[in-house]
Amino acid sequence: MSVPMTIMVPIVANRLTAILAEQQNALVNTAFSPVVRESLDLACAAFDSTGQMMAQSVGGTPGHINAIATGMAHIAAKFGPTELVPGDVLITNDPWMTAGQINDITVATPVFRRGRLVAWFASCCHSPDIGGRILSASATEIFEEGLRLPIMKLSRAGELNDELIAIIRANVRTPDETVGDLYAQMAGNDVGAASLSRLMDELDLDSLDPVAAQIMDRSERALAEALQATADGTYQSELQTDGFDGHPLRLAVTVTIDGRRILLDFAGSSPQSRHGVNVVLNYTRAYASFAIKAAIAPDVPHNAGSFRPVEVTAPPGSVLNCLPPAPVASRHLVGHFLPSLIFAALTQALPGRLLAHGADALWMCVWRGDPFTLTTFHAGGSGARAMKDGLSATGFPTGVRAAPTEVIEALTPVRQHRRELRTDSGGAGAFRGGLGQTLQVSCGTSTLWSVNANVDRLRFPAAGAAGGQPGATGALTTGAGEALPAKQLVPLEPSDDVLLEMPGGGGFGDPYTRDPRAVLMDVVNGYVSLEAARSAYGVAVSYVGTAGALVRPPSSYLLDLVETARLRAE
């Protein structure tokens, strides 16, 4: 007896969530590089037979998951069902089709049942190296940025494409890790496909497409209804990013809510750059659609249906819709600002619901020496919320994690001497912005080494909201305080060390309305200095403990409420 669709849809949807968790776990547990294994710079998803996303794994970054959701249309169109057989696996890192930079490699596996193509599993992972320049914004065209792979077969009927593997190994600095991660992506897809086949056996399904259509239609309807409940209107905002080598970029958006649809138009943004901070439209769509779902309907299941009510446009040749052969390696240093840009525009429509600006762009460093190449990720603070402080040292909107110091030092001679929250970096407010962090790094070898620090907010701080103050800007220096150039190769001597001071998030609300006891605890925890408690919050806190003590419990501090009232009355 056939299962009614009203019962079938939630069963399949829930099982897909579990299957994608299996896929991601298999990928992560077999990955070679710390980029995938520790930092989870990846995304996994399942698609129907036509390449429409049915569901995603919970650990995917928006730039990967939303980009392959649209990128699969290119993959499915390149090889039709009659050109594929069981055991085929496809690969590409074309920025304009997938995740916007050639370091991000998509591996897609078609799933067959009784000789028919019924689904796809795919993952997108940040490769530890793809050749060319060490990942930075220095390139002036994409041909300098590494090995670009068109949509092609990584495996043919179960036989690995050895020629392609040989080409990849010959062009990257980390052949074992880069190729090993590709094998892990294939293994993860296979695990997902096997579990999906078991599910179809259990439910006696020959095709998933009718169920998938229902899943996607329900998400579309839910997001459209959430939009309909939001005030119609046109809302605008703009911000500046550091850009490259002293040339800042302007990002602008006009958001139009019209009933059950929303249009995000990025006209007014800067023209595309000569350097690798450009964003392809696919990546712009990825972070723009993420921002809308996060702001308006975060509980709606994420699939192709939840994209349909959202239209994203940007002028061709602009920094948010660059044209080939524009360089794109550091596109996240612009794309990660889009949620803050969109949230600022939507503040009028959704008062009290959205974040202040945060550090936004993930800090990504590529450390190179003899004989290692290491990519590390680091986060500043997120913006404060209307009812809560911002999150410290947390990657938003990307979600990528920082690898533990112990892992980094076990794999390479890179040494981390300081890794601590940065006092006073969070913007003051009724709710405080999240703190950035301070990281001091050296190399434990006697040879020359280098770093490409792909960082931002060295010039333009995260803005506060509703009277909150901006977060602190970041800094990139030597340990001695000498400024270093960002987004480009910095040669280092064996005795050099590098200091990264990450930006903080903006505050929310008037700092003078923050509970003085909350300020006291910020001082106790080292988040706010005694001086900033007084100057930024109007709160008088004094240290009454033993001078020079390393351990300073709450009893070491005194809150003077009378003096606080006087300061706040001035």
Domain-located, residue 406: yes
157: left (phi over 0), alpha (psi -120 to 50) or beta: left
Q: What pLDDT is recorded for position 424?
A: 98
Q: Range of 397's domain? A: 355-511
Domain edge (last residue) among 511, 529, 560? 511
Q: Are residues 426 and 564 in the same domain?
A: no
The answer on 390 and 474 residing in a single domain is yes
Q: Checking DSSP bridges between strand 437-443 and strand 261-265, what pairing results, if any?
A: unpaired
Note the pLDDT of residue 1.
Answer: 47
Q: Are 528 and 452 in the same domain? A: no
In Å, how far are 330, 365, 439 from 378, measured between CA atoms?
Answer: 15, 8, 9
On whether residue 95 sits in a domain, the answer given is yes
DSSP run (H or E) holding 452: strand 449-454
Do 73 and 204 fall within a single domain? yes
Which DSSP letter does residue 480 get?
Answer: T
541 and 493 co-located in one domain: no
d(CA 298, CA 290): 9
Same domain, yes or no: 531 and 393: no
The model's pLDDT over 206-237, given as tens digits with 9 standing for 90+, comes to 999 999 999 999 999 999 999 999 999 999 99
Residue at 500 is within a domain: yes
Find the mean pLDDT for residues 406-432.
97
**Position 547 in a domain:** yes
Mean pLDDT, rounded, of the chain: 96
Please tell me the pTM assigned to this model.
Answer: 0.96
385 and 501 housed in the same domain: yes
Q: What whole-number distance in Å separates Cα of residue 426 and Cα of residue 467?
A: 14
Count: domains in the chain: 3
What's the pLDDT tens digit per position in 158-174?
Answer: 999 999 999 999 999 99
Would 245 be classed as within a structural domain? no
Residue 47 token pair: 């698609």
502 assigned to some structural domain: yes
Last residue within a domain, chosen from 220, 245, 267? 220
- 520 shares its domain with 396: no
Q: Does one domain contain both 33 and 176?
A: yes
How does residue 313 score in pLDDT terms, banded at 50, 70 and 90?
very high
> Using 50, 70 and 90 to split pLDDT, how confident is the model at 315?
very high
What are 434's two structure tokens?
């999240």
Q: What are the contacts of 401-406 at 24+ separation with CB within 8 A?
A: 401/38, 401/39, 401/40, 401/377, 402/39, 402/376, 402/377, 402/378, 403/34, 403/38, 403/39, 403/376, 403/377, 404/38
Strand pairing partners for 437?
421
Last residue of a domain, one of 511, 532, 549: 511
If asked whether residues 48 and 186 sit together in one domain, one would say yes
Is residue 102 one of the residues assigned to a domain? yes
Q: In this structure, what are the phi and psi dihedrals at residue 333, rounded to the nearest 5 degrees? A: -70, -5
The pLDDT > 90 percentage for the chain reads 95
**pLDDT computed for residue 466 by the predictor:** 96
Q: Is residue 350 part of a domain?
A: no
Judge if 71 and 168 occupy the same domain: yes
Q: Are residues 419 and 565 in the same domain?
A: no
Which residues make Cβ contacts (< 8 Å) with residue 3, sequence separation at least 6? 11, 203
Q: What's the mean pLDDT in 464-468?
A: 97
pLDDT at 3: 74
The pLDDT tens digits for 45-71 are 999 999 999 999 988 899 999 889 988
